[in-house]
Amino acid sequence: MKILPGPIIFDLDGTLLDTAPDLATALNNLLLEEDFEPLPLSAVRSMVGQGAVQMIKKGFTESGKFPSKEELHGKLRKRFLHHYENCYLNETRPFPSVVTTLEKLKEAGHPMAVCTNKSYEMSVPILDGLNLLSYFHGVIGGNSLPTAKPDAAPLEAAIGLTDGSATSAIMVGDSITDVKAARSAGIPVIAVSFGYTDISPIDLGADAVIDHFNELIPAIKRLSLKRKEKSESSF
């Protein structure tokens, strides 16, 4: 049985892109407006990955304030997004070797999509501004569906954008949210160790962990071969 190139679905923040510096700028501007001290980048990094509302909640909780649900989903989110829209490409960059790896995956015939908890309206301009959008068949954002990761539905929708199948798809992410989404969708998951998780990467329960993007393609090949061997042994 020949191994055909299956869909590769990527998380965004902490996986493809180092977005933490610009997110920290937006969050700290919001905190300063509320008369709180800015948080160090190291603290903000572990708050990224579950969408803007959760990051704002964690940021304010760290500062000793506990906003209501109405505040979080209303004025605080609106003001945070205003700040972020003014800085989202200031320092955000792809992690090392992301572009060359995406190019190689594209040349190998792997259809790719992005599945993130960042809003669709913010994800697309960032990818476009960094000249990465053309590598992907599409983007599923945190507000694209009624549910977000770790629910399986966004990941399944992202696979659908590639016209591929979950039976050959692989997820690449940096957090427990990504791992849980992949498990719910029944697909293997590769975790990057350089992302924003507050859990040790080796404890996330991923099928493989990589320390650099130049390790991704070998990891994909190993997981694809393992899946092929398992499929053949079931006959």
pLDDT at residue number 61: 93
**Domains parsed from the chain with CATH numbers:** 8-18+92-233 (3.40.50.1000), 20-85 (1.10.150.240)
Segment 155-201, tens digit of pLDDT: 999 999 999 999 999 999 999 999 999 999 999 999 999 999 888 88
Report in angstroms the alpha-carbon separations of 109 from 31, 39, 104, 132, 136. Answer: 45, 43, 9, 17, 12
CA distance 137 to 162: 6
* Residue 172: burial class (beta carbons within 10 Å; 0-12, 13-18, 19+): buried
The predicted pLDDT at position 3 comes to 59
Confidence (pLDDT) at 46? 86
Q: Of 93, 87, 32, 31, give the one whose Cα is nearest residue 60.
A: 31
Q: Which pLDDT value is given to residue 1? A: 44
Name the stretches of the chain with pLDDT < 50: 1
What pLDDT does residue 211 have? 97
Q: How many CB atoms lie within 10 A of CB 223?
A: 18
Q: How far apart are CA 105 and CA 60, in angstroms?
A: 40
Model pLDDT, residue 30: 96
pLDDT the model gives residue 50: 77
CB atoms under 10 Å from CB of 29, counted, come to: 17
Q: Is 138 left (phi over 0), alpha (psi -120 to 50) or beta?
A: left
> Residues 11, 13, 22, 178: which is the catalytic one?
11
Question: Does 163 participate in catalysis according to the annotation?
Answer: no
